[in-house]
Amino acid sequence: MLGRLALQRLLAAIPTLFGAIVVVFFVLQLIPGDPVRAMLGENASAEEVEEVRDSLGLNDPLAVQFLRFAGRYATGDFGVSIFSRQPVIEEIGQRLPSTIQLALGGVLVAVVLGVPMGVLAAARRGSLIDHLSLGTSTLGVTIPNFLVGILLSFAFASKLGWFPTLGAGSGGLWSTINALVLPSLTLGLAGMALVARMTRSAMIEALGEDYVRTANAKGLSQRRVVYWHALRNAAIPIVTIVGLNFGHLLGGTVVVELVFARPGLGKLLLDALLARDYPVVQGVCFLIAVLFILVNLIVDLLQPLLDPRVQA
Amino acid sequence: MNTALSILRRHPSIAIGGMIVLVVVGAALLAPWLSSYDPAAQNLIARLRPPGTPEHLLGTDRYGRDVLSRVLYGARVSLVVGPASVLIAVSLGLSLGLTAGYFGGRTDMLIGRIFDVMLAFPSILLALAIVAALGPSMGNMILAIGLSMTPTFGRVIRSAVIAVRARDYIASARALGAGHLFTIVTHVLPNILSSVLVVATVAIASAILVEATMSFLGLGVPPPTATWGSMVADGKGMFLNAPWIVISAGLPITITVLGFSLLGDGIRDWLDPRSK
C-alpha cells in the first residue's frame, strides 16, 4: 500500500524535477550580453572565452542547448566549475555532508523547541506562557538570521567561550557537534517560531475534539490527554509545516555558513554567486530543489503512518 | 473617524504596527533634516567613534561615516525595495492566480505546475540567482524579490478566486451575458481584494528581510549606497570593539519587519474575525 503511494508520488515529482532543470537552465539565459564575458571578466583572452563558450555549448541553438543541458542534468553531470575546473558534482559532494548536518540541526532545534512551546501555549491558552510563546515566535520570524548568528556567536563563543566562533570543528564527533550548536540555533530559530505557531493552533483544534472530552471524562491525567491524545492528532500539520519550511531552512544555510565560516553548500553557492561561476550556481540551486522535493515526498509518505485515516 | 478609532482600539496590532511603519517612513523621508552628514562621506580622522558623542549620535564606522545618517538613508532602500517588489509579486500573482482560479481545468494545472516548480527553490536562492545573473542594482533586486515571491501570491489568490467563483452571483453575471473579463473585474476582483491586502502587507515584511539578507551577503544594492544589511556585514568583524554598528543597523531591520507583520496580522483579524 505504502509502496504504491511512494511510487505514485515519486512519479508525480518527475515533472517538478524537470521544471527545476528548466528554471536552472534559464538563469544562464537571463545574463545580459555575453555570459562567458560576464563569467571570465573583461581581461580574458578571446581564446579563453571561445574555449569556455565551446565547453558550455553556447554556440548551438537554444533548443539544442537545453536538450543537452537537461540530458546532462538527468545523468547527474552538472558541468565543470569555471574557476576550480573541478566537476561541480564533486565540489557539491565535498560540501554536502556539512550542510546536511547543519540542516538536520536546524530541524532539530525547530522541532525540539517549537513543539513543546506550542503545546504549552495551547494547553494554557491565554496564560503568561501563551503570551510569552507568541512573543518569542513573533520575534523569531522578524529578527534576520544573520543578526541572530552574530549575537549568539558574540555571547556564547567570544564572551563565554563555550563554542567555537568559526568553522565546522576539527573532525571528532564531539568537536563536530560542538561546532554545530550555534549555527543550528541560528538556522532553526525562524522554523521554531513557525512550528510553535502551527503546533499551537493544531493543538487548540485537537483539544476541542470529542475524544479529548471523553478522555477527560474518563479521568485521565491532563498530561496524558494532552500528550497522548491531542498531540498525536496534531502531528500531521506539524510534520507538514516542518517539511514546507525545509526549503526556507536550506536557503538560510547560505547566511549561517557565511556567519560561522562553515565550508558547506551555502558557502559554495555564495562564493560562486559573487564570482559569477554559473555552472556551480546552477548545480547547487538544482540540488537544493531536489533535496526540498525529496523531503516533502518523505512528509507525504509519513502521513498515512501518522494517521491511518489518511488513505495510503 | 469614530469607526477608525474603534477599529484601532479593538485591533491594537494595527495601531502599533501602523505607528512603527509611520515612524520608519517618516525617518526615511526626513533623513536630510534629521542628520546633517552625507551617508557616504568618509572622515578618516573620526573613525570608530562610539555613540553618544555630540557630533555623532550613533557613532561612526571604520571609515568615519556617520552611523545615524547611514541608518536613516538605509531606511529608504528597504522601504522602496520592500513595497516595490511586493507590487511586482502582486501584479504577476494576480494575473496568474486569477487566470488559474477562474478558468480552472488545464490552465489551472499548468499554472499550478509553474508555481510548484518555483516553490521548489527557496525564495532567497531564486532572488540571489536572478540578481547574480542580471547584476546587482536596485531595479534588478526589486525584480528578483518580486519574481521569487510571485508563486506564494499566485497560490493565495488562486484559492480565493476558486471560493468566489462558485458563488451564485458569478453564474448570474455570466448568464446575463457578461464576458469573462467583465466578470473578473467587476465581480471576482473586488471580492478577493481583502485577502490580497493582508498577504501583501505581511509580504512587505518578508521582502524587507530578503533585501537585508541579500545586502548582508554582498548581493544587494551596491556601495556606496547605505543599506541596513550591508552595514551589519560591515560591522560584523568589529562587533567586539564596535558593537554599535551592527546594533544600529540590525535593530531597525527587526523593528520595521515587526511593524509590517503586526500591521498585516491586525488587518487580517479585522477583516476576518474567525481567523483569530
* DSSP secondary structure string for all residues of chain B: -HHHHHHHHH-HHHHHHHHHHHHHHHHHHTHHHH--S-TT---GGGTTPPTT-SS-TT-B-TT--BHHHHHHHHHHHHHHHHHHHHHHHHHHHHHHHHHHHHH-HHHHHHHHHHHHHHHTS-HHHHHHHHHHHH-S-HHHHHHHHHHHHHHHHHHHHHHHHHHHHTSHHHHHHHHTT--HHHHIIIIIHHHHHHHHHHHHHHHHHHHHHHHHHHHHTT-SSPTTS--HHHHHHHHHTTTTT-HHHHHHHHHHHHHHHHHHHHHHHHHHHHH-GGG-
Question: Looking at the predicted structure, is the pLDDT value of residue A129 above 80?
Answer: yes
Q: Comparing A36-45, A204-213, B128-137, which segment has the lowest mean pLDDT?
A: A36-45
CA distance A12 to A214: 41
Q: Is the pLDDT of residue B269 over 90?
A: no
CA dist A34 and B177 (Å) reads 52
Confidence of residue B1 (pLDDT cuts 50, 70, 90): low
**How high is the pLDDT of residue B215?**
93
The better pLDDT of the pair B36, B94 is held by B94
Q: What percent of chain A stands above pLDDT 90?
A: 22
List the single residue in A144, A276, A293 with the smallest CB-CB distance to B132: A276
Of B261 and A231, the structure prediction assigns the larger pLDDT to B261
Q: Name the band, by pLDDT with cuts 50, 70 and 90, for residue B276.
A: very low
Instruction: Kindly provide the ipTM of the predicted complex, given to two decimals.
Output: 0.88
pLDDT > 90: percent of chain B: 36
Total count of residues recorded for chain A = 312
**Weakest-pLDDT range from A119-128, A206-215, B161-170, B206-215:** A206-215
**What's the whole-number mean pLDDT along residues B5-31?**
88
Quote the mean pLDDT of chain A.
85
What is the Cβ-side half-sphere exposure of residue B269, based on CA atoms within 13 angstroms?
16
Which residues in A lie closer than 8 A to residue B121 (C-beta atoms)?
20, 23, 247, 285, 288-289, 292
Is pLDDT of B275 > 60? no
Lowest mean pLDDT among A187-196, A303-312, B38-47, B178-187: A303-312
Cβ contacts of A32 on chain B, cutoff 8 Å: 134-135
User: What is the reported pTM?
Assistant: 0.89
Predicted pLDDT of residue B29: 92
pLDDT of residue A138: 86
Residue A88: pLDDT band with limits 50, 70, 90: very high
Residue-level pLDDT at B273: 60
Mean pLDDT over A117-135 rounds to: 88
Query: For B67-82, how does the pLDDT look when each residue is reduced to its tens digit (9 = 90+)?
Result: 888 988 999 999 999 9
Pick from B109, B117, B148, B258 the residue to mutate for testing the A interface (most A CBs within 10 Å): B117
Q: In B, what residues contact A, Cβ < 8 A?
A: 113-114, 116-126, 128-130, 132-135, 205, 209, 212-213, 216-219, 229, 232-233, 236, 239-240, 243, 246, 250, 253-254, 257-258, 261
- B254 closest CB neighbour out of A27, A143, A255: A143
| pLDDT on residue A33 | 67
Residue B97: predicted pLDDT: 92
Q: CB of A257 within 8 A of CB of A269?
A: no
Considering CB atoms only, which of B121, B132, B218 is closest to A23?
B121
Cβ(B178)–Cβ(B88) below 8 Å: no
- Average pLDDT (A40-51) is 78
Determine the distance in angstroms separating the CA of A295 from the nearest CA of chain B, rounded to an integer. 11
Question: Range with the lowest mean pLDDT among A112-116, B165-169, B258-262?
Answer: B165-169
The pLDDT, as a whole number, for residue B138 is: 92
Beta bridge partners of A87: A80
Of A60 and B144, which is predicted with more confidence? B144
CB contact under 8 Å between B117 and A23, yes or no, is yes
How far A219 CA sits from the closest chain B CA (Å)?
31
Identify the band that residue A89 occupies on the pLDDT scale cut at 50, 70 and 90: very high
Q: For all residues of chain B together, what is the average pLDDT?
A: 87
